[in-house]
A and B are shown apart, each in its own frame.
Chain A
Amino acid sequence: MSDTFAMIEQVGPRGMMTLRGDLSSTKLKNAATGVAGVDFPGISECNCVDERGIAWMSPDEVLVITPYDEIAKDLKRMQKILSGTHHLLANVSDARSVFMISGAKSREIIAKLSPVDLHPDSLIPGQFRRTRLAQVPAAFWMRDKNTFELICFRSVADYVSTLLHNAASAGSEVGYFQ
C-alpha cells in the first residue's frame, strides 16, 4: 500500500458475543458486565477498556467484547448467568474483522466514507456508531480523540482495508476538522 496520513491496521481477532434480550434485566446486565468488566453502556454508547468492552447495538442487543482466546470460557460464564431467561447469546468472533485507525487526521478517513457527523464536537470517545462505510455496514467508536476502532464483516475485510488505505492516501488530507 502507498503512504497513508494515518495508521491503519487490522487488529484482532477479537472475542465477540452477540447478546440479545431485555437490556433492562439485571441478569443480562450482570452477565455482560461480569465478563467485560466495564459499565453497561447507554443508548448508542460503547464502554471499552483494552480488549474488553460492551457496545450498545440496538434496544435489545449488545456486543460483548473479550480477548479471543477467552471466548469459550466467557461464553460459558455468561450462559450460566443467563440460564432461565429468554435471550440469545452467540459467538460472532469469527464473523467480524476489526481495524484500528489512528492519527491526528483519522476523523477525515471515516468522513470520506460514512454519512456521519465526525466533527469533534459531535463524535466523541464513548459513542458507538453503526453506519455505512462506503458500500458495506460497519460500526466504529473512538478509543481516544485520535483513534478509531472499526468493525466490519469478515468477508469484506479486504474491501474495507483497501477503502481505508485509499481514503488515507498521503496527499488526500482534507484539513477540515481543526
Chain B
Amino acid sequence: MLMLTCPYCGIDADETELTPGGQAHLTRETVGSDDDTFESYLFMRENPKGVHFERWRHSYGCGKWFHAARCTVTLEVFGTYSAQTTEPPKEICDKISGKRPGWSWGSFS
C-alpha cells in the first residue's frame, strides 16, 4: 500500500486517495504517424524490474496528475514531480544514479 507525496499540495497521500495512470513521459503520436510508431505509442510500455516512471493522480485530493519515480522491486520512491514536463528533473535522476548506478529507462539514464 503505497504512500506518495503530491508535489502540488504537499500531502502524503494514501494509495486509496490516488489513481494510477500507467507509464509516464509518453509522446503523443497522431495523424501522420506510421503504423509502427502509432502502435508503439498506444500499446508498448516499459515493464522494468527496477527504476520506473509513472503517472498518478491525486484524485481524492487536489485532483492533479503528477509523476513518480519508483523502484518496482523495492517500492522505494525516488521522488514525485510535476506532470507538466517531458522528462524527469535532474535532481531526481541524480538521486536515482546515487542509489541505482547505471540505471536507464527509455531514453533517460
Contacts and interface: CB of A to CB of B under 8 A. Distances in A.
B11 A132 contact: no
B9 A131 contact: no
Contacts of A117: 12
A129 B17 contact: no
A129 B8 contact: no
A131 B17 contact: yes
B63 A58 contact: yes
Contacts of B63: 57-58
B3 to A, nearest CB: 9
Contacts, number: 34
A43 B10 contact: yes
Contacts of B62: 57-59, 61, 130
Mostly, the B contact residues are loop
Contacts of B61: 130-131
A44 B14 contact: no
B64 A59 contact: yes
A103 interface: no
Given A58-B62, A130-B61, A43 B17 contact: no
A29 to B, nearest CB: 18
A43 B64 CA distance: 14
Contact of A44 (B11, B17, B60, B64): B11
Contacts of B8: 58-59
B57 to A, nearest CB: 11
A132 B58 CA distance: 11
A120 interface: no
Interface in B61-81: 61-64
Interface string A58-88: 1101000000000000000000000000000
Interface of B: 8-12, 14, 16-17, 60-64
13 contacts: A43-B10, A44-B11, A57-B62, A58-B9, A59-B62, A115-B14, A115-B16, A130-B61, A131-B17, A131-B61, A132-B16, A132-B60, A137-B60
